Amino acid sequence: MTAQTAVIIGASHAAAQLSASLRLEGWGGDILVVGDEPYLPYQHPPLSKTFLSGDKTVADLYIRPAAFYEKNNIHFRQARVTAIDRARQQLTLDDGASLAYDKLALCLGARVRKAGLPGEALAGVHYLRTIADVQGIQPEVVAGRRAVIIGGGYIGLETAASLRKQGMAVVVLEMADRILQRVTAPELSEFYSRIHREEGVHIQTGISVTALAGDARVERVECANGVVFPADLVIIGVGVVPNVELAQAAGLAVDNGITVDEFACTNDPNIVAAGDCANHFNAIYQRRMRLESVPNAGDQAKAAAASLCGVKKAYQSLPWFWSDQYDLKLQIAGLSQGYDQVVMRGDPDNSRSFAAFYLKSGQLIAADCINRPQEFLLAKKIITDKLAVNANCLADETIAVKTLLSVV
């Protein structure tokens, strides 16, 4: 029988894992990864931190070295896929060429959400999602110059920390009433507001940007309340949009991401999807969701690779995330939406180390752990195994973390 070809669209985190897992699952045919950037799959989290600061090179970002792909006979092609012909099992590329596939994996990721502001095309205005984006920003990072960041989510705050450490004057403008409003509790928002202000970042919440202005390049940010912020550099971070258009045009089911089952399979038996672009059912929370995280991309890609090889391995991992800002490592276990109680372990008002446990009807559903790796691991186990908890014990720091499981 002729060897089959597996094509992976998108050279993302998910693609890196999926291509490797295909070999581990016994795929003996060709593996081709088609991506529109001139790089091997690379890590995205360091872009706003150590790569922006110049502490890491492009090669440092690679998830796996070129030698790994060569050894495993995994090939790459720089191109953009413009159409999927499911009936003929053929892809059309932007250069007019076509590719045949036997099995197809969509690791399309997500793209930045555009703010659509007047003046957005001015020099000095940037988004931050790719290596090229950061390379465009780096020459403009100069100590003493003024940076305005639009958006007080994790990407905005991580970028603010990086620019501040490099000596820039930094302002963060957030439309919502508090930073991180969409993803965390007020206690965490207050904590990060305090830390950033202590580090010299000026944060403005409840403020709406109406325009970016300047002559040859951006010079100021204009807001609806009439306030104007001078700016030498503007970075916009207002979220991302899943890349689903290719799948939708091919007739695949799409609903806030490409719809997949617990095995990462789409409604086409020859096509799987994984990562930021995929919407799956999460057994722990008993609902569908689309996650933007490296752990999700990796774990879901393993299930997708198994499915392409005819093996059923359900993806049912607990969502988890992290964020690095200054000397703070935030580790998030689970999803806090719908919580009705927050239990604090540690002092968020006067320290840089604590854990926030989110409960719903007495059951732990999530935890935000700042410089608390033991509490993070504890929370993952409690949530995954659906263990009973005692809120008072979680809050009591006289009880060692390693003994909490025996008393909660």
Q: What amino acid is encoded at 114 in this protein?
A: K
Phi-psi group of 346: left, alpha or beta (phi > 0 → left; psi -120 to 50 → alpha; rest → beta) = left
Tokens for 3, please give them: 């060897």
pLDDT, position 8 = 98
Tokens for 157, please give them: 């705050």
Q: Which stretch of DSSP H or E encloses residue 155?
A: helix 154-165
- The per-residue b/e assignment along 21-51, b for 16 or more CB within 10 angstroms, e otherwise, is bbbebebeeebbbbbeeebbbbbbbbbbbbb
Give tens-digit pLDDT for 150-182.
999 999 999 999 999 999 999 999 999 999 998
Fold exhibited by the domain 125-236: FAD/NAD(P)-binding domain (3.50.50)
Say if residues 333 and 350 touch (Cβ distance below 8 Å): no
Would you say the CATH fold of 125-236 matches that of 5-111+240-308?
yes
Q: What is the DSSP letter of 4?
A: P
What span, in angstroms and rounded, lies between the C-alpha atoms of 384 and 101? 37
What dotted CATH number matches 327-407? Answer: 3.30.390.30
Give tens-digit pLDDT for 92-125.
999 999 999 999 999 999 999 999 999 999 999 9
Through-space distance between the first and last CA atoms of the chain, rounded to whole angstroms: 58
Going 186 to 190 to 195 to 201, the CA torsion angle's sign is positive
Percent of the chain residues past pLDDT 70, beyond the cut: 99
Fold exhibited by the domain 5-111+240-308: FAD/NAD(P)-binding domain (3.50.50)
Say if residues 387 and 381 touch (Cβ distance below 8 Å): yes
Q: Which stretch of DSSP H or E encloses residue 198?
A: helix 186-198
Give tens-digit pLDDT for 299-328.
999 999 999 999 999 999 999 999 999 999
Percent of the chain residues past pLDDT 90, beyond the cut: 95
Q: What is the DSSP letter of 3?
A: P
Least confidently predicted of 30-39, 273-282, 384-393: 384-393
Delimit the domains of the chain by residue range: 5-111+240-308, 125-236, 327-407
> Phi/psi of residue 64, each to 5°?
-135, 150
Residues comprising the chain, all counted: 408
pLDDT, position 1 = 40
What span, in angstroms and rounded, lies between the C-alpha atoms of 325 and 304? 33
Give tens-digit pLDDT for 117-149.
999 999 999 999 999 999 999 999 999 999 999
What span, in angstroms and rounded, lies between the C-alpha atoms of 312 and 305? 10
pLDDT, position 407 = 61
What span, in angstroms and rounded, lies between the C-alpha atoms of 66 and 64? 7
**Helices 154-165 and 186-198, packing angle to 10 deg:** 20
Q: Compute the mean pLDDT over every residue in the chain, rounded to the nearest whole number.
A: 96
Model confidence at 237: pLDDT above 80: yes
pLDDT, position 3 = 78
pLDDT, position 229 = 98
pLDDT, position 61 = 98
Q: What is the DSSP letter of 123?
A: B
- Which residues is 222 bridged to in the sheet? 211, 228
What span, in angstroms and rounded, lies between the C-alpha atoms of 349 and 37? 43
pLDDT, position 272 = 98
- Confidence (pTM): 0.95
pLDDT, position 405 = 79
Q: Using the structure block, give the residue that is written with the tokens 């807001």.
A: 223
